[in-house]
Amino acid sequence: MALRPILIIPEPLLRKASEPVTGIDADLRRLVDDMFETMYEAPGIGLAAIQIGVPRRVVTIDVARQEEPKAPQVFINPEITWASPEMSVYEEGCLSIPQYYEEVERPARVRVRYLDVDGKTQEIEAEGLLATCLQHEIDHLDGRLFIDHLSKLKRDRVMKKFSKVARRDGAA
């Protein structure tokens, strides 16, 4: 396992749609291990492969509370097959947009079809934090960020701030 650097906005790769995984092999399992190590170290509750520069449709999630045992979940080629009409609001953050949090409204429940690490098709119906996290991470796979769900004014402010930091750090 290895820690991988997490891409930060305005990195253009974060806006790229990820490619489907066509086979489960040792490289993919190593990627999943690296994603968990990176996600836990950050610390975060979800990570999409694109956030570490790998444009493949792989997501790692662990929404267990700190006092609970770890509950790692892997979603390969996840797709939302159903979303509830009821909505819920959660304060979201993102490892690719450090220390920025904002309330986002999303469907309260979703059904997601995906492959597990053995290549078997699975389906899960999620609600609460897991539903929000799945939607957030699947957005990443499609080149979307949680700030895309905010008003244009808020989104532009965040992008301007992080673009300024990126220019400053690039000039250092």
CATH number of residue 51's parent domain: 3.90.45.10
Please check whether residue 149 lies inside any domain of the structure: yes
Q: Residue 9 above 60 pLDDT?
A: yes
The answer to whether residue 1 is domain-embedded is no
Strand locations in the chain (E) = 46-48, 58-61, 73-83, 87-94, 97-107, 109-115, 121-127
| Residue 4 counted as domain residue | no
Look over the chain and give the mean of its residue pLDDT values, rounded to a whole number: 96
For 22, residues 6+ apart whose C-beta sits below 8 A from its C-beta are none
**What does the block give as tokens for 4?**
């991988």
- CA geometry: angle 81, 84, 86, nearest 5 deg: 160
Question: What's the mean pLDDT in 150-170?
Answer: 92
Instruction: Please check whether residue 138 lies inside any domain of the structure.
Output: yes
- What's the pLDDT at 66? 86
Q: Is 41 a catalytic residue?
A: no
Indicate the number of domains in the chain: 1
Q: Is the pLDDT of residue 172 over 70?
A: no
Residue 5 falls inside a structural domain: no
Q: What is the DSSP letter of 108?
A: S
**Which residues span the domain enclosing 124?**
12-171
Find the catalytic residue in 67, 68, 92, 137. 137
1 falls in which pLDDT band (50, 70, 90)?
confident
Instruction: Label residue 171 by pLDDT band (50, 70, 90).
Output: low
**Domain-located, residue 2:** no
Cβ neighbourhood burial of 38 (10 Å; 0-12, 13-18, 19+): buried
**Residue-wise pLDDT tens digits, 27-49:** 999 999 999 999 999 999 999 99
